Amino acid sequence: MQEPLRLGLAGLGTVGSSVARLIEQHGDDLAARIGRPVRVTGISARDRSRSRDFSTTGIEWFDDPVALARSDATDVFVELMGGEDGVALQSVTTALEHGKSVVTANKALLAKHGNRLAQLSEEHGGALAFEAAVGGGIPVIKTLREALGGNRVSRVYGILNGTCNYILSRMEAEGISFGDCLRDAQALGYAEADPTFDVEGYDAAHKLSILTSIAFGTRIDRDSIFIEGISSIEPVDFAAAEELGYRIKLIGVAKRAESGIEQRVHPAMVPKDCDIARIKGVTNAVAIDGDFIGSLMLSGPGAGGNATASAVVGDIVDLARGARTPPLGRPTSSMEPYVRAKIQKHAGGYYLRLNLPDRPGAFASIARRMADAGISLASIVQRNRPAGAAPRSELDLVQSVVIITHETTEEAVRGVLAQFEAEGDVHGRPQLIRIEEF
Amino acid sequence: MQEPLRLGLAGLGTVGSSVARLIEQHGDDLAARIGRPVRVTGISARDRSRSRDFSTTGIEWFDDPVALARSDATDVFVELMGGEDGVALQSVTTALEHGKSVVTANKALLAKHGNRLAQLSEEHGGALAFEAAVGGGIPVIKTLREALGGNRVSRVYGILNGTCNYILSRMEAEGISFGDCLRDAQALGYAEADPTFDVEGYDAAHKLSILTSIAFGTRIDRDSIFIEGISSIEPVDFAAAEELGYRIKLIGVAKRAESGIEQRVHPAMVPKDCDIARIKGVTNAVAIDGDFIGSLMLSGPGAGGNATASAVVGDIVDLARGARTPPLGRPTSSMEPYVRAKIQKHAGGYYLRLNLPDRPGAFASIARRMADAGISLASIVQRNRPAGAAPRSELDLVQSVVIITHETTEEAVRGVLAQFEAEGDVHGRPQLIRIEEF
């Protein structure tokens, strides 16, 4: 039996504590699998005095995570503090510069600094592993980086944010508003006090940027992602989706397009009977299309201390066994720059919900404009007020119409919507949800 | 750039040809990912004269795969010939004994000789990789062996045979008999001329035995699997399943039970809305329950040349990068013997379809026997002939009754079925399908 692999664990929140507990509980089994014991030998966290749900006996305390990262007693630095800069960046950089391996669950850090950190890892010989950064416990990084190494990937997509999926699942099931649902999610601990990061799509975008890099061999470019959140989705959109055979999901999609690689995070109408449509609640799912594999899907817990700890320890097991995979699936020297496909060139169907003035010819006018723009309509659902009922408010003077287009381009759709607004053809902001076929 | 990794490829059927084509098509990308070229330098197949869909220029031909396996020009021996003994066993053994790494898709070989081959791999230092042996292109071996290394697995289960799933999916959708469906599957190339190996559950059992070993750290024991095939399933069972909220799937399940580890392959009633129920056609799916991960599911193409080649090349990429994971997830020295849980102790619900004589008290009699055996009934569906209709044949003199039991044991159910038959309470063979909850 070799010397123990010594872990320096920075960050003892939900995930960090679960990692320590896992190693405590399964230490013997891990040693048997690996042929070498794994021990947490140093820890660092914000509050030293807090009681922990694992034994800290014999574990050295560090006030400064950077000191833990460079300590001679640390073989692998496990960064679970979070944050895209600051002490997380500083300590991870330090560990790598000292030739130590790093395991992290920090998607924000990787989305922003991943290219440079991967290079540091190569230069100094320590590994950089981050299975837990995307999809919680789902081994999607390993799958893309290793198992699908023989494929030319054409698309990777999925449900990458559990908070959004939870909110959308409940809105759909209960017909309640986004705001009510968000408050409930916050009360239950499924959404943060400041939910912007999740509900506006940034968290999913960070994760997508990492997947894109590995899938397509391009440098991480989180700033080139088209992002829309879910806060504008209304109960009426779910009702229309149901009627038209769709569900609404916040998806992340990266795919090869003519002008480059599309990276998008936005709510989408997905066919009711597809696998992605069936993913409910806080579950995540990632699907990968490749030229030899065809299509593969992984689904499981996208968050939570234990599931994320499972991914972190999976990485530790790999390192302990001596695995050295390039962090982004290939040496940074052979990665290509990311070329962003223009969102205006995005081709697909669209769901549009428009409020039209209740006057003769209102629909004919928008239909003509769409025809002129070369947009052909697949379905139209018009909801009039009950025949003979008098208008009760100004709102009753408009009629809501839902349109599903055949495949067209973002450019064409945006063009006609701008016309509608300029010419007063519609009341208020039109709703636009892209349709995604799998 | 290092020296090329030289592959000796034995077997040029559908999978072998796809592997050669993949490497030909993606050679540059593979070299970039790995930092080292990968080349097929030697091949061996049954018929030298057959034309191939990849270029054989510069590739040495071997009449004898064993010679290819031990050739100094072979770094990695890729065995895609199939067969649980014979030349496959001989050549894989030879390669390992010469310290070479082996990649194989041969589940039959591994199910029978995997323990010894894993040991040979350890003794001589060559790797033994076999992602393609289970679930085609789905990276389930990697997931269990590496990604979930921190978990204590409690259950692994799935749809492991595409032929059976295709047949059951069509029987369900079209209400046709097993025989008709099998003939169609044979015509379409989804079933072999001799389908026994697939439809009687042996193929799924071989795959399950490998998963069990890695999931539970026990030696492979393919002879301790409880196996039932799908040939006794009738259209009426699908009709009853539909009515009761189930689908019928051939599943493989391995789980920890009180008396050991249960390994079962059999048709099962699975709740209609569970993930496994949704897997249609030749798709495979594997789900894993672990103490930290919770539950994870992988689904994708379970067979086919290209998908299987994707898995084979994934293994080659790992080897080329220098990965050395113990073949069965831990050193053979720290594996435990497999202790078989008694199938008689299997606990679960049961679907029973019985033909009762059409006489007063027939059902009361079987209901009493079941109550006496401590079996409680969850649902009963009795199908009488239309009221007033005269019996048209002897068959009309029996009534078919479908019973769903609450959780009970195999022992109790088998006990009452034996009684029914002994006492003439039923006509013909009762149908028994286990219910599996997820």
Residues A291 and A355 grouped into a single domain: no
Is A255 among the domain residues?
yes
Residues B146 and B237 grouped into a single domain: yes
Residues A149 and A284 grouped into a single domain: yes
Residues A267 and A166 grouped into a single domain: yes
B307 to A316: CB separation less than 8 angstroms, yes or no: no
Residues B169 and B127 grouped into a single domain: no
Residues 6+ apart with CB under 8 A from A327: A114, A117, A118, A121, A122, A127, A128, A129, A130
Is B328 among the domain residues?
no
In this prediction the ipTM stands at 0.94
Residues B193 and B229 grouped into a single domain: yes
Residues A39 and A125 grouped into a single domain: yes
Of B26, B35, B293, the CB nearest to A137: B293
Of A146, A149, A317, the CB nearest to B150: A317
Is B313 among the domain residues?
no
Q: Indicate the average pLDDT of chain A.
A: 94
| Nearest-10 crossing angle of helices B178-187, B162-174 | 120
Identify the band that residue A156 occupies on the pLDDT scale cut at 50, 70 and 90.
very high
pLDDT in tens, A206-265: 999 999 999 999 999 999 999 999 999 999 999 999 999 999 999 999 999 988 999 999
Does residue B395 contact residue B358 with C-beta atoms inside 8 Å? no
Which of A286, A301, A316 represents a domain boundary (last residue)? A301
Number of domains in chain B: 3
Residues B245 and B121 grouped into a single domain: no
What one-letter code names the amino acid at A55?
S
pLDDT in tens, A167-193: 999 999 999 999 999 999 999 888 888
DSSP string, B335-348: PBPP-BPPGGG-EE
Rg (CA), chain A: 25
A150 to B292: CB separation less than 8 angstroms, yes or no: no
**Among residues 334-373 of chain A, which lie with CB inside 8 Å of chain B?**
334
**Among residues 221-280 of chain B, which lie with CB inside 8 Å of chain A?**
275, 278
Residue B253 backbone dihedrals phi, psi, to 5 degrees: -135, 135
- H helices within B125-177, ranges in order? 140-142, 162-174
**CATH classification of the domain holding B30:** 3.40.50.720
Token couple for A391: 């208008």
Residues A161 and A286 grouped into a single domain: yes
Does residue A250 contact residue A169 with C-beta atoms inside 8 Å? no
Residue B407 backbone dihedrals phi, psi, to 5 degrees: -55, 130
Identify the band that residue A381 occupies on the pLDDT scale cut at 50, 70 and 90.
confident
**CATH classification of the domain holding A163:** 3.30.360.10
Is A311 among the domain residues?
no
Residues B287 and B175 grouped into a single domain: yes
Residues A166 and A114 grouped into a single domain: no
Is A338 among the domain residues?
no
Is B337 among the domain residues?
no
In this prediction, residue B217 carries a pLDDT of: 97
Which of A133, A153, A187 represents a domain boundary (last residue)? A133
Of A137, A297, A313, the CB nearest to B300: A297
Residues A154 and A274 grouped into a single domain: yes
Q: CB distance from A38 to chain B under 8 Å?
A: no
**Among residues 286-315 of chain A, which lie with CB inside 8 Å of chain B?**
290-301, 304, 306-307, 309-314
Residue A128 sits in which domain range? 5-133
Does residue A15 contact residue A305 with C-beta atoms inside 8 Å? yes
Which of A133, A158, A184 represents a domain boundary (last residue)? A133
Is A123 among the domain residues?
yes
Q: CB distance from B40 to chain A under 8 Å?
A: no
The yes-or-no verdict on residue B431 having pLDDT over 60 is yes
**Among residues 9-28 of chain B, which lie with CB inside 8 Å of chain A?**
18, 22-23, 26
User: Left, alpha or beta for B152 (phi > 0: left; psi -120 to 50: alpha)?
Assistant: beta
B310 to A317: CB separation less than 8 angstroms, yes or no: no
Mean pLDDT to the nearest integer, B56-72: 97
DSSP state letter for A188: T
Mean pLDDT to the nearest integer, B260-270: 97
- Give the residue from chain B lying closest to A329, CA to CA: B33
- H helices within A125-219, ranges in order? 140-142, 162-174, 178-187, 196-199, 202-216
CA B172 distance to own-chain centroid:
20
Is A42 part of any known ligand binding site? no
- Max Cα–Cα distance, chain A, nearest Å: 85
| Nearest-10 crossing angle of helices A305-320, A27-34 | 30
The shortest C-alpha distance from B240 to chain A (Å) reads 23
Is A10 part of any known ligand binding site? yes
**CATH classification of the domain holding B378:** 3.30.70.260
Strand A283-290 to strand A294-301: parallel, antiparallel, or no bridges (unpaired)? antiparallel
Is B86 among the domain residues?
yes
- Max Cα–Cα distance, chain B, nearest Å: 85
